[in-house]
Structures are given as C-alpha cells and as structure tokens.
Amino acid sequence: MMRTRCDHTAAWAALNATYETSGISFDVRQDFAANGRRFEALSQQAPHVFADLSKNLIDAATEALLLNLARQCGVEAHRDAMFAGAAINSTENRAVMHWLLRKPAVAPVPEAQAAIKNVTISLTHELTQVHTTLDAILAYAQAVRADDAITDVVNIGIGGSDLGPQMAVLALDEFVTPTKRFHFVSNVDGHELAATLKRLKPQNTLFLIASKTFTTIETMTNAASAKAWFESSGGTNIARHFCALTTNVAAANAFGITTTFGFWDWVGGRYSVWSAIGLPLAIAIGAEGFREFLAGAHEMDEHFRTTPLERNLPVRLALLDVWYRNFHGFTSRSIAPYHSALSRWPAYLQQLEMESNGKRVDLQGQPLPFATAPVLWGEPGTNGQHAYFQMLHQGTDVVPVEFVAVKKPQHALAGHHDLLLANVLAQAQALMVGKADSGGHRNFPGNRPSTFLLLDELTPTSLGALIALHEHRVFVSGSVWGINSFDQWGVELGKVLAKDVEARLHGGDLAGLDGSTAGLLGRLRAK
C-alpha cells in the first residue's frame, strides 16, 4: 500500500500554517468564552468511556485539519488492512490481530484471506482456533479457582507478559477471588523472586511461565530458579504446578512444562493480555469476568472500525497527540489515573505507546525528520499532586495531562470519593484557568492542556474498552507517522551486549570495550 508521508501532505502544511498564525497563541479560556458549545463539540461518549477533550489547545477548525491529515495519510485504509489480517507488521511479516482475540465466536469475519510468509491464512479458521483455545484457558482458570489447595498464583513474565495481566489484576481488585493471592515476578534481579518464594509453599503454588517467545532471558532465569526451588522444597508434579503461556510450546516442553496454552505470532507481546497471557486475570476474575473484559474491548474495536473519523475516539485522541508532538513540540504526556487500583496504568501505557511508537525510521527504514512517541509518565492521583504537579502548574515545560476518573466507587467509605472527584476536577480546572497574581511565585499561567477520561465504573467491561481505546489510539498516531508500531528492534542491542558483558564479568576480559564500561567492570570485579 503506497502511503503519503505525513509531512508531505497538504494537511500537514495547513496545520503548520495554523500553528504559526493562531495555534501558538491559542487560549482555551478565550475559546470557551467565545463558543458556548465548546464542551459539546469537543467531548463524546464512546463505548464505556466518556472523553472530554475540551480543555485542550485545539478548536474545531484545527481538529478538521487533523482529520484531513489522517485521511491524507491513509489511516482508514491502514486500519481496514489491520482488520483484514494483512501483514502490516512489515519488518516481521506478521499480521496484527489482537482484535480477533476479543471477537465473539459468532461474529462474521471478513472473507479475505491474508497472505503472510507466503502462507494464506483464513480469518474464519483463526477465529475458530481463538475460541477453542479461549474455552480451554477459561476451563483451566475455573478449575484453578475451584482448587482450594492452590492459594498462590505466581506469574513469571516481563514486558507484555507481565504488565497487562498485572495492571488488570490490580485494576479489577474488587472482582478478584479472595481465595488466592496473585504475585507478579518480572525482574531478573533475584531479590524479587526470592522475596516472593519466601512466602510460598510448593504444594499450594501455581507458577505461570508467561513468555511469547519462551526465550526471554529474565523469564527463563526466573522460571529455572522457580522450578529449582519447587523441586528442592519437596514439590512434585510439575504438570500441576507449572503452566506455560507461549507461542513456543516446543520450547516450554523442552523446559519440562507439559501444561501449556498457546497463542499466535500475530499477537504482539504488548497486545497479548487478551490471549493465554491473560490467564492470571482469568483465574482472578473468573471466566465470566474475562469474557466481559473481551466484550468491552470488542465494543471499542467496533467503534474504531466503523465510526466516522469525526466521532471516532481513538482517532481524535491520536490526532491530538500528533498536534501536540509535531506542532506544539511537547515532549511528554503525564498520565493521572484518579483510582488507586489503576496504579500500573501509567507503566502499562509506557510499554504500549513507547515500545510501539518510539521509532525513528519509516516503513522503508529511512530516518524521519519529525518527532514520534512522547515520553509517558505518571502516578495515581491524588499522590502526584503532592509530588510533581507543582511542575505541571508552574514549570517551564507544558505537559499535557491525561486524567482518568471513575464515577462510582466500589467502596463504602464516606466522603472519600467526592473528595477524590473534587480533586481531579479541580486539578484539570486549575491547569486550564490558572490564577493571575502580580507576585510571580503565586501566579499560575493556566492554559495548560488536559484530557479527561471518565468511566461510569471500573469493571472488566470498561477496563477492556479503555485498554482497546489506547491500543487503537497508538495505532492511529503510528499510522499518521508512517512507522511500524508493531516491532521492537530497539530492545535487541542491549540484549546482545548483556550476553557479552556477562561473559566478561565472569572472565575479566576487558579488551575492545569502551573506557566507561571497562572502568565499571573493573570496579565490579575488584575484590
């Protein structure tokens, strides 16, 4: 598919001109004063997520130009190609079909047959495989839930094989069975695994070894240590106490694990919580809850796939991201979930967006002259307010903030939730309205942008929709930039060098190393 690079489109030139003439000095307060319908125009309900974009540095005319940009970059055709199973992950010659994992078994799939690795795959066939596997995973999850002897479930995995299930198990704490404890071990730092094992008994523990490739050194090291601990502490029956979640079932078998659930190379690691990688969540919230989680995501898929761009929330959010990154030059976005259960939401989004769109070349490998993914960072509110919000209100950099709030709490403690909601509203308000004060120290410039995402309740369904919203948002910005959002070559060099450095740590060979690495290795090896 031939696509026009975003900075070669007419819309990009028009956006540049708009930025220079009015965008640079746009004041959202003045636009609210002049336009009584600003909130209605710049907010919308999508499945399970209400979004208020009206506090952003944008107006209808700029949004129309951004929508032109998306059209001129071929975003719609690119989206349709993803949903048709085309191999849009071109550097790995893979389809991108995490959306198929949440498609109901009865839903029609395009008849199109996608050619990947010179093999023709049928989406109908893949959907059948998805549901056969899902049924097996959920039956296993139910059996584990009913098994009183298993009190502790330990997920060993890293990156997408950790962040998705961990974030979701924490987020849905109110729905999690109280009869089991869930642990997530990701770091190769033995402190993490050792601290977890200290509290476990082999006969009561189920280890889930989660790795798409089953080669990731951190996971393999932790899995081997967990297995050694299990056997040396009197554990028997690996088939009952170890389960592998992987596309590489052969490697899991070779490792000695026979209980396995597979998935497919068309599921990216950071998009895999919907697959076997979601097993900890399925055990935690049960089969019905997991199906609701998938259903919420599917609703968002349909919204993204079928809604005109003007009312398509992932598209609108992504275009705002492009506007801020490429025209305003903002380098980061702060994620502020006002729900303590969403504590890993910022970390989850970091992988989703920065591993997907942290790219500097186009689909042909040519360097790009414009910026791509911003830095994402954040903490749950209200904690962030008492740490770094000072900088957001009065610092020299403008950092767009993304608030996430939930209307109905799942606790009965009087007073807390109103206070929480008052705070999230007040922070967004303060960033925008500011406060004039002749004394410089107490002056708040205001006009600082934020987006407000609102869920009625934090449930499996709404969490599924919220995650899918962000997956598609990342797709759209990556599509505008013309990059491959689905590979991650940038993580490879460090992995290769770590092997070499590990050998040198043992052997002491410093030959050919740069001065700094040699100096540090020398210090680490000194008696």
Chain residues in the site for ligand F6P (CB under 6 A): 158-161, 211-213, 216, 219, 269-270, 355, 488, 491
CA 307 to chain centre: 22
Q: Reduced to 3 DSSP states, what percent helix, strand and coil does the chain have, rounded to the nearest 5?
A: 55, 15, 35
Nearer to ligand F6P by C-beta: 397 or 492? 492
The nearer residue to ligand F6P, 211 or 477, going by C-beta atoms, is 211
Long-range (24+ apart) CB contacts under 8 A made by 321-324 are: 321/374, 321/473, 321/477, 322/6, 322/66, 322/69, 322/477, 322/480, 322/481, 323/15, 323/57, 323/58, 323/62, 323/66, 324/57, 324/374, 324/400, 324/449
CA 28 to chain centre: 29
Q: Judge contact between 205 and 154, C-beta under 8 A.
A: yes
Cα–Cα distance between 331 and 87 in angstroms, integer?
Answer: 31
What CA–CA distances, in Å, run from 379 to 10, 272, 338, 383, 431? 39, 24, 9, 7, 17
CB atoms within 10 A of CB 361: 15
Instruction: Exactly one of 8, 125, 386, 499 is catalytic; name it.
Output: 386
Residue 20 contacts residue 423 (beta carbons within 8 Å): no
CA angle 251, 222, 143 (to 5 degrees): 70
Does the annotation count 117 as an active-site position? no
Q: Which amino acid is at 395?
A: G
Which residue number, 273 or 431, has a Cβ lying nearer to ligand F6P? Answer: 273
* Tokens (6 digits) for 111: 């008849």
Nearer to ligand F6P, 491 or 505 (CB): 491
- In terms of Cα–Cα distance, which of 457, 423, 491, 451 is closest to 324? 451
| Structure tokens given for 308 | 């005109």
Is 386 marked active-site? yes
CB of 165 to ligand F6P, least distance (A): 11
Amino acid (1-letter code) at residue 21: T
- How many CA within 13 A on the CB side of residue 333? 28
Q: Quick one: tokens of 377?
A: 């960072």
Could you tell me the smallest distance in angstroms from the CB atom of residue 246 to ligand F6P?
A: 8
Number of H helices, E strands in the chain: 20, 13
Amino acid at 342: L
* Cis preceding linkage at 18, omega within 30: no
Local structure of residue 276 (DSSP, 8 states): G
**Minimum CB distance to ligand F6P smaller for 156 or for 406:** 156
Distance, CA of 248 to CA of 327 (rounded, Å):
43
Question: Shortest Cβ distance from residue 214 to ligand F6P (Å)?
Answer: 7
Cβ–Cβ under 8 Å, residues 484 and 363: yes
Residue 496 identity (one-letter amino acid): V
Question: Is the distance from CB of 48 to CB of 455 less than 8 angstroms?
Answer: yes
- 62 or 275, CB closer to ligand F6P? 275
Active site residue 355: yes
Point out the catalytic residue in the list 353, 355, 379, 471.
Answer: 355
For the annotated catalytic residues, the residue numbers are: 355, 386, 495
